[in-house]
Amino acid sequence: MTSPSKTRDVFAQNLKNLRIEAELSQERLSKLAGLGRNVVGRIERDAPNVRLDTVAKLAAVLKVDECVLVSTRPFGNTKQEDRPPVGDRVAANLKSLRGRRRVSQEQLSEAASLARNAIYKLESLQFQATLNTLDAIAEALDAPAWMLLA
């Protein structure tokens, strides 16, 4: 079994802290987010590789921005309304960061040890990223993972 990514560990701890602060049980948070009954417990316990749409669902219930869940940096805990979906923001931020660093999609895919067309698929919304993918891309871009969600 591979060890959890730094982002996965941070996500699991932040999720637990915010859930306790909101006075929600693991089961209740799972239910409110439309997830399986034991999903939150598994995330907090094992820090599994979670898809970004799951991160977004949990953030919505906790009324926080997704960045709050994946960052050690302090953010305001209020959910910003009228924001594009998380996949759209990741795609836009990825294009922007890649452009500033003058890195092609293929170069970034290779640097992040992803499939050759992975960055293309992320930027064209054909692929739902996970926390591991986010971590690999952020590391290759020398940027914090939360920056891709902002």
What structural domains and CATH numbers belong to the chain? 6-70 (1.10.260.40), 86-142 (1.10.260.40)
User: With 60 as the cut, is the pLDDT of residue 1 above it?
Assistant: no
Query: What is the mean predicted confidence (pLDDT) over 116-124?
Result: 94
CA pair distance 120, 125, nearest whole angstrom: 8
Residue 100: per-residue pLDDT: 94
Residue 84: per-residue pLDDT: 83
Residue 42: per-residue pLDDT: 94
Quote the distance between the C-alpha of residue 67 and its chain's center. Answer: 8
User: With 80 as the cut, is the pLDDT of residue 124 above it?
Assistant: yes
CA pair distance 3, 80, nearest whole angstrom: 32
Query: What is the mean predicted confidence (pLDDT) over 73-87?
Result: 69
